[in-house]
Chain A
Amino acid sequence: MTDIPVKLTRTSGTLDHLIYVLRANPVTLLAFAMFAMIVLSAVFGPALVPYDPLQTDAKNALQAPSWAHWFGTDNVGRDVFSRVIVATRLDLAISVAAVALSFVLGSVLGATAGYWGGWLDIVLNRLLDTIMAFPLFVLAMGIVAALGNTIENIIYATAIINVPFYARLVRAEVNIRRNAGFVQAAKLTGNSDIRVLAMHIFPNALPPMMVQVSLNLGWAILNAAGLSFIGLGVRPPTPEWGIMVAEGANFIVSGEWWLAVFPGLWLMIAVFTFNLLGDGLRDIVDPRKRT
């Protein structure tokens, strides 16, 4: 009976803290609002946009932004606004899938290495060091080139280069707690190692992991857009921010700026949102680490 009121005060304490942080830091509130907007346009975007993102219209090619075409039209007359909004889903899907993969893979690897240690730990550390010894974007290029030029491989490549961040974080968090009092208590009551690790130790690593996820999402979007900018993964005419900037780049020197600027701007806003969100989450999770 006694643990119920304790739990209640704790939750409301967290909630109070959350409200306090959001009120003290309107930027974080703004980040949450922008995040909601991005998610909404990823979910409902394709249903809401005024034009078909693939519909060409030769006589309306290269129109400057106007009321009919908010972001103008591209070289074959497609509506840039519709393409930019529809692209949100693909860009977000690639980065969320990649981050989710590296989250799971990093958690499993890091938790095993941190809990049991030994040769497993040594091998994992060597492997992570080797991955980090590559400039990460270049490694992603190499992986996509080796596995084949598809969207799935962009996701795998982005996931692999992000695994070290998660694995190291989880390893450290698990390692400092593996002999903690609550862990020994849980073991004494007859829980198996795996159960103790998964249910008792790992949840402690979740708050810093969430911060990492948010910062990582922005970086994963940048990475995926960079790869498609150099012609990997997504193929035209699929609407995607990186490839739209790449196509628009050919028109920038003749002054048709809207082709490249709007998708680039959207990409920037998305990354900016995730970075702000990550900083805000860090303030909520660990107020001491503010910089």
Chain B
Amino acid sequence: MSAAAYSRLRAVAFRVAQSIPVVLGVVVISFLLTRALPGDPAAYFAGAAADAASIQEVREALGLDKPLLQQFLLYVTDLAHGDLGQSISSGRPVAVDLVSRLPASLELTLTALVLSCGLAIPLGILAATRPGSWVDHLCRVLVTAGVSLPTFFTGILLIYIFYYLLGVAPSPLGRLDFIYLAPDHVTGFYLIDAALTGDWETWRGAAKQLILPSTTLALFTLAPIARMTRAAMLTALSSDFIRTARAAGLSRGTVLYAYAFRNALLPVVTTLGMVFSFALGANVLVEKVFAWPGIGSYAVEALVVSDYAAVQGFVLAMALLFVALNLVIDLLYSVIDPRFGFAAK
């Protein structure tokens, strides 16, 4: 193995190891959140309909009668076995509920992110290469308006325009209209599952349902990405190596994409981490607006009926998902940046 590849591999391993304390911190905080309940946590976990006997049962099952440190160890052991507790409202283990609903959320969030990156990055590049033009102004307006838009409000506005006024969108109720049958479960992503079985009728139905919610989420995440792309491209384009590349007579395309864009990509990818945080939060609101059966609306339903195990399981699952996404983003650096692995300690 060459020295460069070795140091690169070491940097990757180092980065993966760095996320371990973060995961630990996340687990500690979610443990504290489940124990911070005012009053008797056991009564909360047992639900409103519980009697004294079942509260006692829950207390023993969760180990709430033991010292805090022992409770924590018990909590971690349960987590290691994938046990997030029992949901009162569905009567099933929280982990099972979350896993069965996760694909819906991921399909929505990922579609939205692909959509917003696909729009925001070209927009940012265009705005940076033509400062002062109408593209630049459009970019500025979109960026300022985009971060001010409450996601739930955008969603409702889009429903009003495209469902009620124009009648082009299907009714905003879930992932698939009831005239279609859900495709066989392979990945849980309806678009992929329908494509795998070659059921294009269902694929179109699922895509139609997906357009409005993912646009809503994309509009929200568009702004920070476009803003950062524009700023990073402006910085890159005004640097000396671009002047040199231009003076050397390289074509406009090469200068723009091979030189400027590749350098501008680093801050953009960094922003993606923050965008993910926003997107996962906004996801909850969008799912509520569109009655999307993902983990966000699961948590909202659980909140309404005070289903604590379900809510805290959701918070923990989202945090772990976010840590994983951040790890993926950081590892993307190793693809983009050839210096990766040398600068790392």
Interface residues of chain A, those whose CB is within 8 Å of chain B, are 126-127, 129-139, 141-143, 145-148, 218, 222, 225-226, 229-232, 242, 245-246, 248-249, 252-255, 257, 260-261, 264-265, 267-268, 271-272, 275-276, 279, 291
Contact = CB atoms under 8 A, between A and B. Distances in A.
Chain B, interface residues (CB within 8 Å), range: 35 or more
Contacts of A230: 284-285, 288, 300, 303
A261 B149 CA distance: 12
Contacts of B149: 268
Nearest to A260: B156
Given A135-B276, A138-B281, A264-B150, 19 more contacts: A133-B26, A134-B29, A134-B277, A135-B281, A136-B277, A139-B319, A141-B299, A142-B314, A143-B33, A145-B308, A226-B150, A226-B152, A229-B285, A245-B156, A252-B156, A264-B156, A267-B153, A268-B149, A268-B150
Nearest to B228: A291
Contacts of A143: 33
A133 B326 CA distance: 9
B6 interface: no
Given A222-B150, A253-B172, A271-B150, A135 B160 contact: no
Nearest to A264: B153
Contacts of B315: 134, 138-139, 141-142, 145
B160 A261 contact: yes
* Chain B at the A interface: SS class: helix
A98 B83 CA distance: 35
Nearest to B287: A230
A239 to B, nearest CB: 16
A137 B284 contact: yes
Given A133-B323, A134-B319, A252 B164 contact: yes
3 closest pairs, A vs B, by CB? Answer: A137-B281, A130-B25, A264-B153
Contacts of A276: 144
Contacts of B299: 141
Interface string B32-52: 011011100000000000000
A249 B319 contact: no
A219 to B, nearest CB: 8
Nearest to A138: B318
A139 B172 CA distance: 27
Nearest to B282: A137
Given A135-B277, A230-B300, A268 B284 contact: no
B303 A291 contact: no
Interface of B: 21-22, 25-26, 28-30, 33-34, 36-38, 144-145, 147-153, 156-157, 159-160, 163-164, 171-172, 227, 230-231, 234, 276-278, 280-282, 284-285, 288-289, 299-300, 303-304, 308, 311-312, 314-315, 318-319, 322-323, 326
A249 to B, nearest CB: 5
B159 A252 contact: yes
7 contacts: A126-B25, A138-B280, A147-B36, A225-B150, A229-B150, A242-B152, A279-B144
A146 B156 contact: no
B25 A136 contact: no
A142 B30 contact: yes
Contacts of B30: 142
Contacts of B172: 253
Given A130-B25, A138-B281, A138-B318, A272 B148 contact: yes
B155 to A, nearest CB: 9
A129 B284 contact: no
A229 B36 CA distance: 24
B22 A275 contact: no
A268 B38 contact: no
A268 to B, nearest CB: 5
A145 B150 contact: no
Contacts of B285: 226, 229-230
Contact of A291 (B38, B231, B277, B282): B231
Contact of B227 (A218, A260, A291): A291
A245 B150 contact: yes
A142 B33 contact: yes
Contacts of A267: 150, 153
A185 to B, nearest CB: 35
A133 B315 CA distance: 11
Contact of A268 (B37, B153, B311): B153
Contact of A138 (B38, B144, B284): B284
B206 to A, nearest CB: 20
A161 to B, nearest CB: 10
Nearest to B321: A135
Contacts of B318: 134-135, 138
B280 A135 contact: yes
Contacts of A245: 150, 152-153, 156
Contacts of A141: 284, 299, 303, 311, 315
Contacts of B25: 126-127, 129-130, 133
A245 B281 CA distance: 18
Contacts of A218: 147-148
Nearest to B312: A142
Which has the most chain A C-beta neighbours within 10 Å: B227, B278, B315? Answer: B315
Contacts of B231: 291
Contact of B303 (A139, A232, A246, A271): A232
A232 to B, nearest CB: 7
A265 B149 CA distance: 9
Nearest to A241: B150
A272 B281 contact: no
Contacts of B280: 135, 137-138
A20 B171 CA distance: 52
Contacts of A130: 22, 25-26, 28-29
A242 B300 CA distance: 15
A271 B38 contact: no
